Chain A
Amino acid sequence: MLKIRLPKLSAFALVGTIVSSLFVVSTASAQVADRMVTDTPAGHAGGRIAVALRSDPKTLNPALAEDATSRDIIYCMNADLIHINRETQRTESALAKSWSVSHDGRTYTLRLRRGLRFSDGKPFNADDVIFTFQVYLDEKIHSPQRDLLIVGGKPISVQKIDDYTVRFQLAQPYAAAERLFDGMPILPKHLLENAYKNGTFAKSWSISMAPREFAGLGPFRLKEYVPGQRIVLERNPYYWKMDTAGYQLPYLNEIVFLFVPSEDAQVIRFQAGDTDILSSFSAQNFAVLAHKQETAGYHLYDLGPGLEYNFLFFNLNDLSSKNLPQIARKQVWFQDVRFRQAVSAAIDRGGIVGLVYSGRAAPLWSQVTPGNKLWVDSALPHPARSLDRARGLLKSAGFSWKGDGTLIDEHASPVEFSILTSSSNTERTKMATIIQNDLSQLGMQVHVVSLDFSAMVDRLLNSFDYEAAIMGVASGDADPTSEMNVWVSSGGTHLWHLNEVKPATPWEAELDRLMNQQLITLNYERRKRLYDQVQEVVAQELPVICLASPDILVGAKDSIGNFHPAILDPYALWNVEELYVR
């Protein structure tokens, strides 16, 4: 047996060791202390999940990504300063440990967590934040994020105070300022600075690059990409969150994203067990999957209505510069609010909810859905469907009926128009068919014209060669400011009447006033009252006739732990770092 002789420690050496180890421990804990501790129940480490996505991502560069697939993957690979918790819909700290707001609401000072590293091991500090916002705000990059950072007509400015403190200045107080930071992933300066300086930034971080050229602060980093088939993310060993037991998140070792182009194929693969999580699918497929729920080892969740709202609207654009006499003639009908109210009164919203969504949707009378609990105006009246009321409104607007029931206007022209929908969206085409049948009971002859998406958009935005259309908006965030461009008269998505130099009607001027006011009001109650008024104006004047909002439906295998889907995107993976395999 070997005798191990312990070295004799002198007193100095002993003290020195203790002191230095205390020093090491304190700095280490100073680093550990800046990690975020989550409060969800602890899970097991290890495992891999597979999720289906509709298509290949277009880019993995957060400054350039706009489509849903790219954003879903970027979400798992990156982190932001202030994050919106999808479950509570409120902001919480992320990379910014804490922040303070100045009195006038125009200056935000954020203190960053210390000792964090990117997924390639390089340290993170304020330089990365400055660089990130420099890129987002650069006009030559044309980043979609840039528009979100323009407050009061001026881009926000960002300054470095020290290595772990940054200050943001806004031109005017902005109610949803904190929420701005969610969805603004922080880029690694050390990897992208050269490309930015050389002007090749737009080509950087395209999907054809090698995994080691990417780095982010998210729970996962890129492992492998096979075009047309899958993208594999692996655990980020430097991630800055840990659970209450001190285990560094994420729990999962790998996430595999499979590219499955159609919803039906995704449902089939989920049913076959190829994928572990299924997110956003139709109500009819829900029914198909629900039959086997108990025995097949998965569960489905109906989370209630999300933020998407579908609506019918009429062409109220100024057609004087276009050669569309037939549509201009019909605009006389569309511009009469009683006509629009009659159409709204005749639509069978219950039928739409039942037939299009198999009951898994909520009927809507204004653009805010019941799922948006913080902002929905619960006092808004929901008038029941009434053909009599519709007929009364039409009569008071000067319409009358011929012997065979056809509706005619004051000049005895029969009321006939077409509704435009996108051929790839079966739900909205179905809604159009139901509305066509409903309005035929008023004596209106309605045609459903189904075009491919791009052709339809061209008519809506450029040629204005349409009469009515059905569209939907899926808001990214519950906050009203994400919809400014829809309701403000100069907005780019003010679909029923684009390119307004000044508001065309008194109620649109009112909408402008209310929306701009709520933008700068910081107090939630006052903002809510303003936005309630917006909803009332919309429900009264009906620039858009809201129809229904589909429920958010997700499914997951029973083996997935900590699965808490929410109605904000990404529905199933918003807490991906907490998911684990039982």
Chain B
Amino acid sequence: MRYLTRRLVHAMLLLLAISFLSFALLQWAPGNFFDDMRLNPRISAQTVDGLRVEYGMNRPFAVRYARWAYSVLKGNMGFSFSYNSPVAPLLWARARNTLLLTSMATLLAWLFAIPLGIWSAVDKGKWFDLACGFSTSALLTIPDLLLFLVLLLLAVRTGWFPTGGMVSTGFDHLSLWGKIKDVANHFALPTVGLAVVTLPVLVRHIRSAMIEALESPFIRAARGHGIPHRRLLFRYALPAAANPLISLLGFSVATMVSASVIVEVVMSWPGLGPLMIQAILSRDVNIVIGVVMLSSVFLVAGNLLADVLLFVSDPRIRVE
């Protein structure tokens, strides 16, 4: 219990530190939101300067940080220059879409990775293991971006899947069931793509951990005892192999907000990814910080989860 409270306090402090450092980093990069306007020959420099003053961009760093922190407490999370509205409502809508995508993809990936990894480890050196090893290596070498583009190409050429977005043009006129089917149709491809991309690393780690567990002395002893193979696998080897896998699970949760950036951009899925990239390129500072904070919350939560699970599952750690 003490451990948990200690970690929670740390988590809070960490989030504070992240917000401060991110804010500082964002000021360091040259350029600001109004650069685009500055290059327009029809708008004078005075107008642009006036706008900068109005949005408080000329105030000192500490003041701007304090104002932003206050805005977070009020629930607005700062003000976006691009959208002319508080950041919070923009974030929630997009975050919901992103989380839908990543949670489904993570589930799918783990669902396939566990049996594949275990089977590879058990059948080490045989054809299944080699085939699996080859395909995971192949998938790992292909850049994510390329894979998503190829999937998109597939969608275009075959017409089996929609080529982007979350809903079709006539969405409003659909029944409830029609709406659900429409959204599911649209997110099939991005989800599968994301799952395929996260799969190889998981499989390799699971396989590696299982192999180590299976070759350790106590398993050999248990085998010698005559314990049936399946029980050996799931009740003895798997828990022993759990240690690195738990860290990986924590990592999966931690990256739940940030992992889908590329797939969202390629497939026009309206999540946090495109929002973030556009905000970075146009220097809309408050949106960037908002997204960073949200993904930090997940990061911290994921790591916390992993540490707690490790603590609970591996008795060897508790002896301290």
Contact = CB atoms under 8 A, between A and B. Distances in A.
The short answer to whether A and B are in direct contact, CB under 8 Å, is yes
B199 interface: no
B164 A265 contact: yes
B31 A457 contact: yes
Contact of B31 (A56, A202, A228, A458): A458
Interface stretch (A186-194, A255-263, A301-309): A255-263
Interface stretch (A83-91, A235-243, A268-276, A571-579): A268-276
A26 B31 CA distance: 61
A206 B81 CA distance: 11
27 contacts: A66-B37, A66-B43, A142-B50, A142-B54, A147-B42, A203-B84, A206-B83, A206-B85, A208-B89, A227-B270, A228-B270, A259-B270, A265-B164, A268-B156, A272-B162, A452-B31, A452-B281, A454-B29, A454-B30, A456-B31, A457-B35, A459-B30, A476-B42, A484-B41, A485-B44, A492-B38, A492-B45
Contacts of A486: 41
Contact of B84 (A207, A269, A493): A207
Interface stretch (B100-108, B165-173, B237-245): B165-173
Interface stretch (B90-98, B110-118, B122-130, B225-233): B90-98
A262 B38 contact: no
B39 interface: yes
A208 B89 CA distance: 9
Nearest to B168: A274
Interface string A49-81: 010000110110000101100000000000000
Given A66-B43, A144-B40, A461 B35 contact: yes
A23 interface: no
Interface in B23-67: 29-32, 35-45, 47, 50-51, 54
Given A454-B30, A454-B32, A482-B41, A59 B278 contact: no
B266 interface: yes
Top 7 A-B residue pairs of the complex, sorted by shortest distance between their CB atoms? A454-B31, A228-B270, A458-B30, A457-B35, A485-B41, A206-B84, A147-B44
B313 interface: no
Interface of B: 29-32, 35-45, 47, 50-51, 54, 82-85, 89-90, 93-94, 97, 152, 155-156, 159, 162-169, 172, 265-268, 270, 274-275, 278, 281-283
A319 to B, nearest CB: 18
Contact of A492 (B41, B54, B97, B168): B41
Given A265-B266, A454-B283, A144 B35 contact: no
Contacts of A453: 31, 35-36, 281
Contact of A142 (B41, B51, B169, B281): B51
A143 B82 CA distance: 15
Nearest to B284: A58
A462 B40 CA distance: 15
A139 interface: yes
A228 B269 CA distance: 9
B268 A265 contact: yes
B41 A457 contact: no
A452 B47 CA distance: 24
A202 B156 contact: no
Contacts of A64: 84
Interface in A194-230: 202-203, 206-208, 224, 227-230
Nearest to B33: A454
Nearest to A270: B163
Contact of B90 (A227, A424, A484, A492): A227
Contacts of B85: 206-208
Given A258-B169, A265-B164, A453-B281, A144 B42 contact: yes
A491 interface: yes
Given A66-B37, A272-B159, A485-B42, A228 B172 contact: no
Given A139-B50, A207-B85, A455-B31, 18 more contacts: A67-B36, A143-B47, A202-B54, A206-B84, A208-B89, A227-B93, A229-B270, A260-B268, A261-B265, A265-B152, A265-B164, A268-B163, A268-B164, A454-B281, A457-B38, A462-B30, A482-B41, A483-B41
A475 B39 CA distance: 11
A65 to B, nearest CB: 10
Contacts of B84: 58-59, 64, 202-203, 206-207
Interface in A455-510: 455-459, 461-463, 471, 473, 475-476, 482-486, 491-493
A256 B170 CA distance: 9
B38 A461 contact: yes
A455 B30 CA distance: 5
A146 interface: yes
Contacts of A457: 31, 35-36, 38-39
A537 interface: no
A458 B41 contact: no
A486 B163 CA distance: 42
A96 B84 CA distance: 32
A424 B282 CA distance: 12
A230 B169 CA distance: 9
A148 interface: yes
Contact of A144 (B37, B90, B164, B266): B37
A139 B47 CA distance: 8
Contacts of A459: 30
Contacts of A484: 41
Contacts of B274: 228, 261
Contacts of B97: 228
Contacts of A483: 41
Contacts of B163: 265, 268-269, 271-272, 274
Contacts of A58: 82-84
Contacts of B32: 454, 458
B41 A473 contact: yes
Interface in A14-54: 48, 50
Interface centre among B85, B90, B97, B275 (most CB of A within 10 A): B85
Contacts of A256: 169
A111 to B, nearest CB: 28
A359 to B, nearest CB: 25
A198 B51 CA distance: 19
A483 B165 CA distance: 38
B149 to A, nearest CB: 8
Given A142-B54, A229-B166, A454-B29, A482 B42 contact: yes
Contacts of B54: 142, 202
A206 B275 CA distance: 18
A50 B97 CA distance: 22
A48 B94 CA distance: 27
B47 A269 contact: no
A409 to B, nearest CB: 31
A137 to B, nearest CB: 12
Contacts of B43: 66, 144, 147, 492
A180 to B, nearest CB: 11
Contact of B35 (A142, A272, A274, A458): A458
Nearest to B267: A265
Contacts of A454: 29-32, 35, 281-283
A493 B281 CA distance: 21
